Structure formats: structure tokens, C-alpha cells
Copies of this chain bind each other. A is one copy, B any other.
Amino acid sequence: MPRRAAFIAVGSELLHSDRVDTNSLVAARVLRRCGVVLSEKRVVEDNEAAIATAVTELAGRCEIVITSGGLGPTADDTTREAVAAAFDLSLARNPHVLDLIAARYRDRGREMPAIAAKMADVIAGATVLANPVGQAPGQLVPVGGTEIALLPGVPREFAAILELSLLPRWAGSAAVVVRELHLAGVWESEVERRIGHLYERFGRERVTILGGRAQVSLVLTADGPNAAGSIAEMDQAFSDLAGADLFGRDDDTLAGVVLAALRVRNWRLALAESCTGGLIAAALAAVPGASEVFQGGVVAYSNQVKTATLGVAADVIATHGAVSQPTAEAMARGALGLGADCAIAVTGIAGPGGATLDKPVGTVHIVVATPAGMHHRRHQFPGDRTAIREIAVTFALDALRRLLAGW
């Protein structure tokens, strides 16, 4: 069984509507490298009772508890007092730590304010953790089978103490490997059905499924001495079931994968977007170096733009409507004319207005034009305007990806 850890961010300001704690992300990364599972994280108010309650509850169920914040010199910095009280330990001023703190002030040409002395209060039995980039040292307090690490909340101080003092201590010989598989053009429930039987084989707790907007990610975890072998075996088994829906692993993005596949073929891409209104272009342009492959495109919201810049014949729109296969194909041909080897065209009804009886909200036509011809598909997407537009982006890029993969 891997060791389990919990994280507590101390600070009332982290309970407002405009701040998120990010020290826990650093802790999660360091703990993963140590083979420790981060099983819970919390934000609590900076008062002694709240902190004491949190460390007591968590020490009862984790081998490691990390606190962030509340080690400064002011009256609302009470993490030391709270942890000491929670486990009935004494707190005493440590003269060596006090000397170090005073020396840091002297080195900076400042006199140590009287209130700063409390940063030298050390919990009985604690190991002092040197702070290479700030005043308040950390403390590591053993309580039963649990180690409680008190760290400052300032992000670079938090990270420095964690990486310099605690990572080497906790890493030991453990190794946890994480692999993410990314699928596009599918729904979570569908993937769940397809892979469900693998949960039993590999263990339910080793697979997390993340779904959203026609993309699904499978997060696979393995640990122990054969972690690398296990993750390879899991990757193989899940990839086989993902099949052509699998577009990448770990840091891959759909736009990045499509651009890379085009770059290999030395193909240039252009777009003709109506209902997605620039979102596909924005997704591609977000990838550094996109301009080598991505030529640009037209956001053809009005029929006049469709006609003027893409050469869509007015009578095609008049006969079939702006949201139709013939219009989408004409848009794709127009985009090809912008100096591209392949093109994606999207036209649809994202709502809330614009629907007709035979073209409800969510109707989207996607055409991919390649040297081999036109590939068209009519979709009916669920959700509101935002969802429909984002799902259309995924399906549009994914349609090109699948064509390139089968090339």
C-alpha cells in the first residue's frame, strides 16, 4: 500500500472568491515523486481551533500531513500553536533558531522586530527545516505514525523547503508512474462502458476517467518495483480498447497532434468557420510554431463574408441554407483556395436562436477537404451555445486527425 498524505492550506484569504491555493500543486508533484498518494487537501481559516481540528482529523488517517502558511510573525500566524495544542506538545523558543533569524535580519541591514522572535518557537520533538529563501523555518513533527510538516505559505519558501529537505527524506525507493491517455470524438459514458471490465483486471483505484466536451482522458497509475512494466501493460490494454479514438498521451493536445501530423506531410491547413466563430483558429494558434502549418482562415459569420472571401455561391446558400452540406463544402473549397493543402469548414446552429424545425439547435455540418476529396458529416450536438461550439471544435479537429491517421 502506498503511503497517504494530506495537505492543509492555512489562510482565510484563500477562502475568498478570487484566490486558489497553488502550493498543493507543488506538494502533489513532490509527493508523487516519492510514491506518496495525496488523498485529501483542505483550506482552513487562520485560527488556532480550525487548524488544530484539521491536523487532528488528518493525522488519524495519513502518514504525512503538510501544512502551508501561518508561520509568520503576526498575530494571525498560529499554525505552530495550533499543532502543539492539538497533540498536547509544548512549544519553546529555540535560541539557535532565534540567532539564525536575527542574523538574516542583520544581513539585510534591518533590525529584527520583537514580534519576529515567535518564528523561533519550536514544537517539542520537532526537526527544524531550514528555510533557504525566507525567515520562518519549517518544522517536522512526529505524532504517532504520522509526520506533520509545517511549511511557510510563501510559494517559493514552501517549494524550497519541500524539495530540499522533505523530498529526499520521503522519496526512499518508491516510484509511482502516471500515464494519461487522451481520446477525442467520444463521450465519457461510452468510454466507461468500453473499458469497464479492465477496472477489475488492474484495480479500480488505478484508473481515473475524466470527460468533457467530446474529449475523454484516462489517468493510469502504477507503483511498486515494477511500476514501469505495469504502466506499459495498462497503456497497451487501454489503448487497444480506445482504438482510433486515442489521439495522444500526457501533454499532447488535439490541436498540437493535428499540427504535428500536418507538419510531417508538409501540408498547410486553412479554415472556414461559421458557428465556431474563430475557436478552431484560436486552438491552433495557441500552439507555438503553428504558423508553419496553419495559414489562417475565414470566420464567415455573415453570408456576405461567406460569398466575398470564400466564394460560396449565393444561390447555394439560398437553395440549401447557410447550415447545410453544400454550403459547408463550398466553404471548405474556398478555404483551400487560401493556399492550403487541406481545409476544415464548420457551419451550424449554436443557439439559442436560429433553429428551424429540421435544423434544431446543435445541428452542425463539418467538412474536411483533403487532396483525396471532401469528407462530410452532419452532427447533432447536446448542450448550450458554449458546449455546442466547443464540442464542434473537438469534432472538427478530430475529423482531420482521423483522416490523416488513415492516410
Number of copies of this chain that the complex holds: 2
Which of A42-50, A165-173, A223-231 is found at the contact surface with chain B?
A: A42-50
B208 touches A305 (CB 8 A): no
Q: Please judge, given known A-B contacts A42-B40, A44-B40, A304-B295, whether A192 and B278 are in contact too, CB under 8 Å.
A: no
B109 touches A380 (CB 8 A): yes
B45 touches A42 (CB 8 A): no
Tally of chain A residues near chain B (CB < 8 A):
109
Q: Which of B16, B192, B209, B284 contacts A219 (CB 8 A)?
A: B16
Lowest 4 CB-CB distances: which A-B pairs, in order? A277-B285, A278-B281, A278-B278, A296-B301
Residue of B nearest to A49 (CB): B61
Q: Which of B18, B192, B268, B276 contacts A25 (CB 8 A)?
A: B18
Interface set, chain A 257-283, CB cutoff 8 A to B: 268, 270-271, 273-282
A179 at the interface (CB under 8 A from B): no
- With A73-B192, A299-B299 already in contact, 6 other A-B pairs whose C-beta atoms are closer than 8 Å: A47-B205, A73-B189, A109-B380, A277-B285, A288-B352, A298-B298
Distance between Cα atoms of A238 and B371 in the complex (Å): 59
A316 at the interface (CB under 8 A from B): no
Rounded to whole Å, the gap between the CB of A63 and the closest CB of chain B is 15
A18 touches B204 (CB 8 A): no
A386 at the interface (CB under 8 A from B): yes
Q: Please judge, given known A-B contacts A25-B18, A73-B189, whether A285 and B278 are in contact too, CB under 8 Å.
A: yes
Which of A80-88, A89-97, A110-118, A241-249 is found at the contact surface with chain B?
A: A110-118
Rounded to whole Å, the gap between the CB of A196 and the closest CB of chain B is 7
A367 at the interface (CB under 8 A from B): no
A384 at the interface (CB under 8 A from B): yes
Residues of A with Cβ closer than 8 Å to B? 12-13, 15-18, 20-22, 24-26, 28-29, 32, 38-47, 50, 53-54, 57, 61, 72-76, 108-110, 113, 115-116, 133, 154, 156, 178, 188-190, 192-193, 196, 199, 204-205, 208-210, 212, 219, 268, 270-271, 273-282, 284-286, 288-291, 294-302, 304-306, 308-309, 337-339, 351-354, 362, 380, 382-387, 389
A18 touches B296 (CB 8 A): no
Q: Please judge, given known A-B contacts A12-B208, A193-B115, whether A297 and B295 are in contact too, CB under 8 Å.
A: no
A74 touches B209 (CB 8 A): yes
A305 touches B20 (CB 8 A): no
Residues of B near A337 (CB, < 8 A) are 308
Residue of B nearest to A29 (CB): B17
Distance between Cα atoms of A294 and B16 in the complex (Å): 33
Distance between Cα atoms of A200 and B82 in the complex (Å): 21
20 contacts between A and B (CB under 8 A): A17-B25, A17-B29, A39-B44, A42-B42, A42-B43, A53-B61, A57-B57, A75-B199, A113-B190, A156-B387, A270-B305, A271-B299, A276-B282, A277-B282, A278-B280, A291-B301, A296-B301, A296-B306, A298-B298, A298-B299
Q: Please judge, given known A-B contacts A212-B154, A301-B296, A385-B288, whether A188 and B278 are in contact too, CB under 8 Å.
A: no
Residue of B nearest to A178 (CB): B16
Q: Please judge, given known A-B contacts A278-B299, A296-B301, A338-B308, whether A286 and B389 are in contact too, CB under 8 Å.
A: yes
B299 touches A296 (CB 8 A): yes
